[in-house]
Chain A
Amino acid sequence: MSQFSILSLIIFLPLAGAGFILLGNRGDEEVAARDARNVALWTSGITFILSLFLWYNFNTETAEFQFVEKAEWMPGLNISYHLGVDGISMLFVLLTTLLTPICVLASWRSITTHVKEYMIAFLIMETMMVGMFSALDLVVFYIFFEGVLIPMFLIIGVWGGGRRVYAAFKFFLYTLAGSVLMLLAILAMYFEAGTTDIPTLMAYNFPPDMQRWLWLAFFASFAVKVPMWPVHTWLPDAHVEAPTAGSVILAGVLLKFGGYGFLRFSLPMFASATVEFTPLIFTLSVIAVIYTSLVALAQEDMKKMIAYSSVAHMGFVTIGVFTLNIQGIEGAIYLMLSHGVVSAALFLIVGVVYDRTHSREISTYGGLVHRMPVYALAFMLFMLASVGLPGTGGFVGEFLVLVGIFQINTWVAALATTGIILGVTYMLYMYRRVIFGKLTKESLMKIADLEKREIVVFAPLVILVLWMGIYPSSFLDVMHVSVANLIEQFQTALAASENLALAGQ
């Protein structure tokens, strides 16, 4: 399969599409906008189909990286263009390629200014995201990881709401500050190990003292991305100001960079430091779950509430990652995937009414079910998935994470489980105020239910949410071997650094 470089194709096809839009019709604005939309939809659609091929041909029996591509890039520095996916990253690639066309479709009507540039930004972002998940060289990884910031910064800053500039800067500075430390760590790793090749580094044993610093540097970057408490405050602002599709990508994919990073780097490369810092992670995560759930309860803005609920869910993810057992890690990955679908869907749901009324305030709504029954049903389903009702995708991940953590620390498990009570409270409370009640507000009297285009947007997400809840094996089977391998790698690395420490004494 690797002969014809499928990964590169998936990564760079959107970029080519972006170039096509850029060079395309320069005349009439209207025509240019229409062309841009069409090109973006086709490119991202084909990219998605290509990525299905990835899934279809994926070998679930091996933990090796698959569809590997390796080309010399800077041979003198021992840096190469190295790509590949395993059971941990492959599904994230699919999540990205699925959400991008959905975003394009969701922006069809709501974006009317600078459509060309908007679509270009989204396609470039897709390139960066897929590249990030399939990079097997630290330098390649870092370029994609940071590169995502630029289109996202522009999307929030140009097409965002009232306080978009504040939000864009906050987003950019927060994430950049973390990443700078990671860059330093990458340099340090390069000077220590002499390579930036990720699979090689996974097997490399960094000295325990150095691990501590490296771990913290990576943590700074990932914690902001996740985001973990207390570096989460950029997220609500970014979400509130971002256009709908921006929020979808932000919640659906960008937030997963952190969790993915922990799995790909912190666990296998810095095993002993991971063990040391696990209590810190658990503490911050539990605070995140309870704190942000309570904050979500007090929100008046729908997007802000969903943003805070995302922080709470990500708290579950970080707990799961650091349980270091099968259920916990698989649960964390699964939760990231399902949260990618569910939170994306919830932001789209808010987008639907925002497009119609231009308000995100919960209090401007009420009684929507009378005019929008299909909408109410879709909203209900995604809300239930968000609160982790069994039978929906949200349950499996959350449950596995909790099973995982209960084996490690019952206090953390119990405190995190309170999140499921609070979660259902704020979600139902919002749903009631938006959907139920009498329809009395003048502005809502003529509001229209979902149109065809919107149903097309939601249909795949509805199917996925139920599929992930009823037959999760389709996704879990992909990750079993890789996760087992990760845990083994971790144990080996831990044993090695313990030996190293003993030898040093």
Chain B
Amino acid sequence: MYTFAIFLPLLGAMVAGLLVFVGGEDEERRARMDRAAQWSTCGAMSLASIIAMFLFKEVALDGNPYTVELFTWIDSGALEVSWALKLDSLAVVMVLMVTVVSTMIHFYSIGYMHHDPSIPRFMSYLSLFTFFMLMLVTADNLIQLFFGWEGVGLVSYLLIGFWYDRPAANAAAIKAFVVNRVGDFGFMLGIFAVFVLFQSVNLDTIFSAAAGKADATIQVFGGEFHALTVIGLLLFVGAMGKSAQLGLHTWLPDAMEGPTPVSALIHAATMVTAGIFMVARLSPLFEYSETALTVITVVGATTAIFAATIGCVQNDIKRVIAYSTMSQLGYMFFALGVSAYSAGIFHLMTHAFFKALLFLGAGSVIHAMSDEQDMRRMGGIWKMIPVTYALMWIGSLALAGIWPFAGYYSKDTILEAAYAAGSGVGGYAFWMGITAAFLTAFYSWRLIIMTFHGAPRADERVMAHVHESPKVMILPLIVLAAGALFAGYLGFEYFVGSNAAEFWGNSILVLPGHDALENAHSVPLWVKYLPLVVAGAGIALAYVMYMFAPGLPAALASSFSAVHRFLLNKWYFDELYDLLFVRPAFYLGRNLWKTGDGAIIDGVGPDGLAAATLNLARRAAKLQTGYLYHYAFAMLIGVVSVVTWYLFTRAG
């Protein structure tokens, strides 16, 4: 029964997918197919999210985790893997979050995409994505996790490149897939290493064996290393790719080429958090490797501040939110790194609501502004779209972590846990997190002010057209806004508060001694209030710079032009990678082909041999001149040689 929650989206995707091909040229018929696709996917998703609520109650609230085994998948020697759904608290939290947010975005898309000629395809992709995401979070073995992982990557690729006429969209789509594959390279090696160590890739088996392998070593790359550290680091490379952490992040901002609902669903609420989920899911492995956890903390904290700095100077409304997402993912990672897994998941959940809200709100703005995304050509529209404006405020307040919005509960818990970890990297993460919190508030209000306030900077035609979005778009936003308002308050006790142990059951392991989260409740008062203070300061600064002294940003940009350019160009990562990997790969490919295959292998091998044979034959042919005296002369030489040879050998 509950498995329907997972497979209904697949069904919806298949139905809508079929409708893509039956539309034909007839306008009216197409419109009917469009509606059928919208209804079937939205219906399937609604049903799935209702089932997910029951599932959540059954498994997480009543504490009855279980596993549904479907059928054998891969079976080869010791490697035995089934298609199976592992439904424990961690999984059902994700299932509920994914289905609810996805359903809202499905409905929103009805309004947002209503001009688009490819509605069934879009709806089909959204549902297919949801299915893969659900397979990912309910996986009971690493290979199925990888199945969902690659599946969401695929649909992400398809949706970033949804408008396939645009070269930029196509390029971004490929970039997303390839960069993620770089991460998957680590993920796959990690899975292999797990198999070598445990002779199994089933989660339950490896979790129960992990304690016994705490000190085991593994032979890799010519050395012997602590096995669980190797595994943890390799798997984390995969997580970095999917969750756009520093180094493997370059695809996420470009991914904003996709339609806005996609950015909200995939590149904010769900897929990009898969890395967080994976690490939390594998807490029984990561717990045994201090090194891996340290690396995760440092990478997360660095990403949090790195992305926030870039977010402050971007002008594309969606890119600002994209960098904000990266930054928030960084927070989640350093929470995991200090063993506050449940705090990370808590923030994942609240973030899904308020970030989806922000993206969809931005989408509503873009919709109102006739597809304009550049904030420098917005402004002065808050009275014209008041509902969107209010909703953006709610999303931003939640993002900035202002009491009593959702972000306040989850983000503060993370910062407190980092502080309470008491370690060097914990301290680093705390201070980076505080600084990033300041920047977060700053760029959020920079966005609000640039978008909604001041003098209108769009042309008259656009301004005349500004309108509030239809109900089908606004209602989902209101549901998400409710989440951004209350999810933190409601979830706090269960996720990280007094009911946490009961709520999570066995789905997350934290070893004794890793008690950052417990200590987080008893940190000094200034730690508790500092995030609020810096957030307030950030908001105030944004008001000063963009509302009260609008000349200030330009003056700053010109007096610190090097810094500004560095940030505007996103720390030059794209240029660096282009120089290091992309160009050399094509250069090598071309040369190996022309020189390696062409000149050397073929030149020396078959062609060379053929040419040599031909050459020899030609020379032989040349000897046949047809003149009698040539032949006579040759014969004479022959006779002389034979005689000479005979004489010499006889003499010798």
Contact = CB atoms under 8 A, between A and B. Distances in A.
A363 interface: no
A419 to B, nearest CB: 10
Nearest to A477: B75
Given A400-B79, A420-B184, A411 B177 contact: no
Interface in B147-185: 147, 150-151, 154, 157, 161, 164-165, 167, 170, 173-174, 177-178, 181-182, 184-185
B149 to A, nearest CB: 8
A255 to B, nearest CB: 17
Given A400-B74, A424-B178, A428-B177, A295 B170 contact: no
Contacts of A279: none
Contacts, number: 147
Given A407-B196, A437-B165, A417 B189 contact: yes
B76 A326 contact: yes
Given A421-B181, A425-B178, A471 B193 contact: no
Interface stretch (A39-47, A84-92, A384-392): A384-392
A298 B164 contact: no
Contacts of A406: 189, 192-193, 195-196
A297 B593 CA distance: 10
Given A294-B585, A410-B221, A233 B147 contact: no
A199 interface: no
B596 A291 contact: yes
Nearest to A473: B72
Chain B contact-residue range equals 35 or more
B71 interface: yes
B75 A473 contact: yes
Contact of B20 (A236, A373, A402): A373
Contact of B189 (A327, A373, A413): A413
B135 to A, nearest CB: 9
B161 A436 contact: yes
B76 A400 contact: yes
Q: Counting chain B CB atoms within 10 Å of each CB, which of A418, A421, A429 scores highest? A: A421
A390 B174 CA distance: 18
Nearest to B164: A436
A424 B192 contact: no
Contact of A327 (B71, B79, B147, B588): B79
A107 interface: no
A480 B221 CA distance: 30
Contacts of B72: 471, 473
Nearest to B195: A403
A291 B595 CA distance: 12
A102 B588 CA distance: 37
Contacts of B220: 410
Contacts of B590: 298
A299 interface: yes
A150 interface: no
Interface stretch (B106-114, B401-409, B597-605): B597-605
B435 to A, nearest CB: 34
A214 B641 CA distance: 43
Interface string A393-412: 00010011011001100110
A355 to B, nearest CB: 22
Contacts of A173: 606
B174 A428 contact: yes
A496 interface: no
Nearest to B223: A410
B593 A437 contact: no
Contacts of A473: 72-73, 75
Interface in A416-457: 417-418, 420-422, 424-425, 428-429, 432, 435-438
B642 interface: no
B548 interface: no
B589 A295 contact: yes
A501 interface: no
A296 B589 contact: yes
Nearest to A424: B181
Contacts of B222: 411
A420 B221 contact: no
A374 interface: yes
B188 interface: yes
B256 interface: no
Contacts of A389: 150-151, 154
A258 interface: no
B174 A476 contact: no
A390 B146 contact: yes
B592 interface: yes
B441 to A, nearest CB: 38
Nearest to B604: A230
Contacts of A480: 76
A362 interface: no
Contacts of A299: 593
Contacts of B586: 297-298
Contacts of A438: 165
B73 A472 contact: yes
A128 to B, nearest CB: 24
A234 B181 CA distance: 31
Contact of A421 (B73, B77, B178, B601): B178
B285 interface: no
B219 interface: yes
A233 B597 contact: yes
Contacts of B195: 403, 406-407
A173 B79 CA distance: 42
Interface in B173-221: 173-174, 177-178, 181-182, 184-185, 188-189, 191-193, 195-196, 219-221
Nearest to B182: A421
A212 interface: no
A422 B589 CA distance: 11
Q: Pick the 6 closest A-B CB pairs, nearest first.
A: A326-B77, A298-B589, A406-B192, A390-B147, A297-B589, A436-B164
Given A403-B192, A413-B189, 17 more contacts: A294-B589, A295-B596, A297-B589, A298-B590, A327-B79, A390-B151, A400-B76, A403-B191, A406-B193, A410-B189, A418-B185, A421-B181, A421-B182, A425-B585, A436-B165, A473-B75, A476-B74
13 contacts: A231-B605, A294-B588, A325-B77, A331-B76, A390-B143, A390-B147, A390-B150, A399-B74, A406-B196, A414-B189, A420-B184, A421-B181, A437-B167
Interface of A: 170, 173-174, 230-231, 233-234, 236, 291, 294-299, 325-327, 330-331, 367, 369, 373-374, 384, 389-391, 396, 399-400, 402-403, 406-407, 410-411, 413-414, 417-418, 420-422, 424-425, 428-429, 432, 435-438, 470-473, 476-477, 480
